[in-house]
Amino acid sequence: MIIPKYPAFNIYSHIACKTTALGPVCVATTVSKLPGWDAEIIDENNFRPPGPVDDSGAPDHAALQAARPADAVGFYGGLSCTVPRLLALAGHYRRAGVFTVGGGYHLAALPGEALAAGVEVVVKGEGEQAIGELLLARFTGGSLEAIPGIAFLKDGVIRSAPERPPIEDFDGLPLPDFGLLRYARMGVYPIGRVRGCGANCEFCAVKGRPRCASPERLLAQISWLAESRRAREFFIVDDQFAQDRAGTMRFCRLLAEYQRATGLRFFITAQIRLDCAHDADLLAAMRDAGIRNLAIGIESPIEEELRAMGKKLNVAEMVDLARKYHDYGFLVHGMFIFGYPMRGGSEFRMSAAERVRRFRTFIRRARLDTVQVLLPVPLPGTEFRARLERDGRVFPLADFGWEYYDGNFPLVVPDFPMTPAEMQESILTIMGRFYHFRRMPGVAVHTLRFPLAMLPLTDLKTRWRRWYRRWRNDVIGSVGYFIMRNWQKQFRNGAFRRKLALADRLAPKLTAPTPSR
């Protein structure tokens, strides 16, 4: 299994060096259990010496294949920005006579693109069941046409098999084996219990009725990793951690009991809705379970944009809810989309400078611990992309390929009076002022005042959490400053500036022939 490298340094590059994607690990684990098969994973974003590298510093797949030849290679196509690298690697392995399989949201939405470039079969749904059937058919002379949920070329024509029903019995699957990763170093382990999301946001590719594994299975993932790999930091990848409230409550109780029994302590990050802050019992259970960091899709502090996204909360409520999470001791990571395009017919107008002011005011009022501000990404297969394509607002792929689809570059015509260059500069301003060198003195100050922060010696747990939050935020803010400096380097090079200038020239020429209502 290969997880392709990001095309350029971005805000995810730092964390990508110490974690991986969960889906490829699940598929590779399934293969490793098949009779006669062995499996390994190369995560190009988390690839270290003594792994062989080529002249560009990327993993040397010729050397990897020479040292340990693969009969089949699977490609993770869940991130659009990595697809050009994926297609190049698929062509390389296909020319070497290797059976190539791809999956993930991007490839499932555009299977023809991958099939034309060297991927022999695209899996359009979950891969754990399909992969065994594919390998059996390919290496025993069976027929691909009998396998549901895939697309492949036959006589130059794309053949799509009937859809495969989603997996319901997750407890029958093996636990993800992170030992299959080669030349990687894990610091944060991705785990999951719920697949699908009922929020139905137009900009998101994750859809469908939530399907849940048992709370016991998620605890088994944590306990196995803690005991076999000394894992202490976890990221629960479920899009909405509390979608199955009863199961979530049970998992929290089980995890709290496990930590009390073993004396282990974990740092766990989960993704959750902002309005879950109304549920006091849930927050207390999560706190007792050791869940410390919450990643929340706040999306925007601008009322008009919230309505365009279909969000039900207003800005004042959002500030209050974010503060409620702090009252329970959680760290809050706010995720935003800057410049979300309005639907056709909207009279809403706001300058880039005013939007930046709104974002910075909200971040300060909500007392967010960390933030992530990205630009709108019209992902293939989403209602968002379909709407913007109807309106003629998506920049042509010929000019801005998939490698730009990481949220760091303007890909759509912004609402008047903003320009693409102003959009891009705005996210640099917001992030750059949050992750700033002025946070560095705070690290020293909070370290020195630690003894005073613990006085008087009562309610030490609350006092320690308050001190730790301030100290941690300044540490992350300081480290983030250096990450931001590296991130901004790509925006200062000539090639990037020329692309940005092209976006500015194209934006006035694109029209909306059939405005959406």
444 vs 473: CA distance, rounded Å: 12
CA 251: distance to chain centroid?
23
Is residue 15's pLDDT more than 60? yes
pLDDT confidence of residue 9: 76
Secondary structure letter of residue 394 according to DSSP: B
pLDDT confidence of residue 513: 42
Averaged pLDDT, 34-55: 95
* CATH T-level assignment (fold) for domain 2-160: Rossmann fold (3.40.50)
Confidence of residue 511 (pLDDT cuts 50, 70, 90): low
489 vs 407: CA distance, rounded Å: 16
pLDDT digits (tens, 9 = 90+) for 413-427: 998 899 999 999 999
Confidence of residue 462 (pLDDT cuts 50, 70, 90): confident
> What proportion of the chain, given as a percentage, has pLDDT over 90?
72
Tokens of 217: 């299975």
Contact 98, 121 (CB under 8 A): no
Is residue 125's pLDDT more than 50? yes
419 vs 130: CA distance, rounded Å: 45
Is residue 27's pLDDT more than 80? yes
Averaged pLDDT, 307-316: 85
Average pLDDT over the chain reads: 91
130 vs 165: CA distance, rounded Å: 11
Is residue 486's pLDDT more than 90? no
pLDDT confidence of residue 514: 41
Which of 16, 330, 405, 344 shows the shortest CA–CA distance to 185? 16
Is residue 185's pLDDT more than 50? yes
3-class secondary structure, 318: helix
Averaged pLDDT, 227-245: 95
